[in-house]
Amino acid sequence: MNFQTQGLTKSFGEKQVLQNVDLQTQSGRALGLLGRNGAGKTTTIRIIMGVFPPDSGKVLMDGEPIHRRRINIGYLPEERGLYPKKPILEQLLYLAELRGVSAKNAKASAVRWLDRLEMGEYINKRLDTLSKGNQQKIQLAATLITDPEFVILDEPFSGLDPVNAMMLKDVVKELIAQGKVVLFSSHQMNYVEEFCDSIAILNKGKIVISGDIKEIKRSYDRSKIVVSSPQREKIDAFCREKLTDIVVKTSELGDSLKIKMKSADCKGALISALAAQEFDLDGIRVFEPSLNDIFVEYTEDAI
């Protein structure tokens, strides 16, 4: 399946929230929808879900307007949407049957997901007796109980400890491997980088950058080199004293040394010069910005 939005625009009163938002992804891939609070992410998701229509623009699946009764969509909202006073199994069955799953199949799926998420022992407990992290796992079970083709995950790691976060990471990877369309929204850039092939960053309701993450990173300046070595200080001194025709400046980057060259074309000469000195080199790589760096660059002027 190919998912796409074209020109989504939305205003509430005089406030324009979205302006010509274009997104695109497909089965077996994950798209990261990023932006600061108030950038328009939730409005975009709600339009995709059909909670309200856009003022203009389209939501498409395989090139046709999306039929939400035909496409099985699983949505994990940032804000909890379950019933705190109700037993877990009872409400999972209720939600699954609302979406057209038979009682028998709903119970089998609920039990399977609760076991998969190590929540089987709480099957008859009330939701409000669980920790925040375990409530999030029940919310995930409710999202996936109908085996959706299109999965929207909004801040899925909220409240999870490292062990449960690892479990959820495995689940998300399984969904992608199964050929689901996955839309992933989070402020935790490390997870976005791990799961998503492509990103779209919203700033004040507009897409300010989108595309394949690797291609976006490669589009940045390639004139910075990161050298990992136990002889970092000696390499630093050598670069500043002997390689002034190649090196502009050096700086620390964690336990490594970042070297700014006069141009990307100097890379071969720099590596040859370091190798000729027989420095103990653990690694040399081109410096690329992290997704967090890119996010800050494109959103730091947001209100």
pLDDT digits (tens, 9 = 90+) for 245-277: 999 999 999 899 999 999 999 999 999 999 999
Q: At residue 295, what is the residue type?
A: F
Q: How many angstroms separate the CA atoms of 226 and 240, rounded?
A: 15
| Pair of tokens at residue 133 | 């992290």
Dihedral through CA 34, CA 40, CA 46, CA 51, nearest 10? 180
Please calculate the CA angle 56-62-63 and round it to the nearest 5 degrees.
45
**What's the mean pLDDT when you consider all of the chain?**
93
Average pLDDT, integer, range 193-219: 94
| 75-86 pLDDT per residue, tens | 999 887 899 999
Question: What percentage of the chain has pLDDT greater than the value 70?
Answer: 99
Indicate if the pLDDT at residue 55 is higher than 80: yes
